[in-house]
Amino acid sequence: MIIQKTREEIELMRESALIVSKTLGMLAKEVKPGVTTLYLDKLAEEFIRDHGAVPGFLGLYDFPNTLCMSPNEQVVHGFPTDVPLVEGDIISIDCGAVKNEFYGDHAYTFAVGEIDKDTEKLLQVTKESLYVGIREFKLGNRVGDVGYAIQQYCESHGYGVVRELVGHGLGKTMHEDPEMPNYGRRGRGKKFIEGMVVAIEPMINMGTHRIQQHRDGWTITTKDKQPSAHFEHNVALVDGKPELLSTFGYIYDALGIESDEENEFRQKALVL
């Protein structure tokens, strides 16, 4: 059952989302060659606690860390490690935080120094597909409309859309109804309703959509060992339209990037 949120609850969820957004912005400055993902994990945990929240993933389904850290061919659910990042890596960082009982949960794939053109394109297209999907998250549409849009966009670039892992409703638990696949058929699946909040999160592979799970029970990698990207936003359905609760603005501030990609999904301007 999809749990509708009141306007007040959506504002609380925005608060939780923005703590995650700020955490990713803080990390954007720290992602560079030589840094370990375990160090970034420590920074994130401190930052989240300093902002009056609790890490959302730590202990959830027994996950041992604050961040899911998935470099290169890892898709999602990787552990932070003491292996330093190297120039040319990509690193998908997924972060959760809980405040006022509500979860924030989003992700960004960062370039470590200079990356090759093909990988840069994968990151760009995956991020664009996130907004292509969000645009379909509106009253009158269904779950399949979002998935269809993301899948068409990514496959038109020759990329593989991961099937086994999906976006989800978000609220007082991390994974609520409905599941939000990044593939699907137009007009199929559950109907969107006012006040629902979802995490939309394309996980897109440069090659095959096929994945495999490591023996650790968590880490997911691409079957062909080609890179994979992951971008995630938290979105509420307000007045029939998608309203972004999260932002990549803190990341762009940290990296000196100008972007207006989020503007069409905000009913009021976001002051960073």
Binding site for Mg ion (CB under 5 A): 94, 105, 107, 199, 232
**Which C-beta is closer to Mg ion: that of 136 or that of 232?**
232
Least distance from Mg ion to the Cβ atom of residue 62, Å: 17
**Which C-beta is closer to Mg ion: that of 88 or that of 92?**
92
**Which C-beta is closer to Mg ion: that of 102 or that of 256?**
102
Residues 160/207, Cβ–Cβ less than 8 Å: yes
Least distance from Mg ion to the Cβ atom of residue 94, Å: 4
Least distance from Mg ion to the Cβ atom of residue 168, Å: 6
Least distance from Mg ion to the Cβ atom of residue 162, Å: 13
Least distance from Mg ion to the Cβ atom of residue 32, Å: 23
Q: What is the CA radius of gyration of the chain?
A: 17
**Which C-beta is closer to Mg ion: that of 24 or that of 107?**
107
**Which C-beta is closer to Mg ion: that of 158 or that of 217?**
217
